[in-house]
Amino acid sequence: MKVLVACEVSGTVRDAFAKRGHDAWSCDIQPRFTDIDKPDKRHLCLDVSHILGENWDLVIAHPPCTYLCVTGNRWFKPEYATRFPDRPKQRERAINFFSEFTKLDWVEKVCIENPVGIMSRLYRKPDQIIQPFQFGHKEAKKTCLWLKNLPPLKPTKIVEPEYTTYKSGKRMATWYADAIKLPKEERENLRSKTFQGIADAMAEQWG
């Protein structure tokens, strides 16, 4: 298959499909390098909207979730309007970009991935919600999948997830809590990266 993994910098999902013989490409506005000075030849550094019309057999999309996920809803409260005046417009752009992947009528198979957020209400409920700990990782991260002509992913290895509990009683996935200590860009890239076990399951079960 000719596979496009949209909004992916890590190349994790792309490489999982490539290892199984597919013509797989990743695309993002951020560049990707195989080492310090060599661009990744299988990574397209551009706005993915420009290539969605090509003859793809499968598109797996990871549209940015910053303005869509429920964890960011608090910043839309009236008391933050002065601090974040552009937030509504940013959310509107994020919704429109997500929606581009729901209209790929010419693509036989499509998967849109995002955390739990407002698209479950504005678009439709996801076909499946998965967790990394269903695919061999100790991390917890609810991930919604909207699927077109693809079966729900079957768990490959269920393990016990790790959580950190604070004095307040609040509980958070340990990996997510640890990421708070990282610089902003590094933290965002880490949190958005697809876990290897999930990428392998996608390639094996959908490839």
Q: What is the pLDDT of residues 124-135, one digit of tens each?
A: 999 999 999 999
Q: What is the pLDDT of residue 188?
A: 65
**Element holding 94 (H helix, E strand):** helix 87-100
Inform me whether the pLDDT recorded for 116 exceeds 90. yes
Q: Measured between alpha carbons, how far is 122 from 21 in angstroms, rounded to an integer? A: 36
> pLDDT band at residue 167, thresholds of 50, 70 and 90?
confident
The structural domains of the chain, with segments of one domain joined by +, span 2-159+193-206
Percent of all residues in the chain with a pLDDT value above 70, rounded to a whole number: 85
What's the pLDDT at 19? Answer: 98
User: Ranked by mean pLDDT, which of 38-52, 75-89, 160-174 comes out on top?
Assistant: 38-52
pLDDT tens-digit series, residues 169-187: 888 788 776 767 666 666 5
* 3-state class percentages of the chain: helix first, strand second, coil last, to nearest 5: 35, 20, 45
**CATH placement of domain 2-159+193-206:** 3.40.50
Mean pLDDT, residues 85-90 taken together: 83
In this structure, the number of other CB atoms found within 10 A of the CB of residue 40 comes to 17
pLDDT band at 34 (very low <50, low <70, confident <90, very high): confident
pTM: 0.88
Core vs surface per residue 43-66: b (16+ CB within 10 A) or e: bbeeebeeebeeebebbbbbbbbe
Task: Tokens for 186, please give them.
Answer: 């590094």
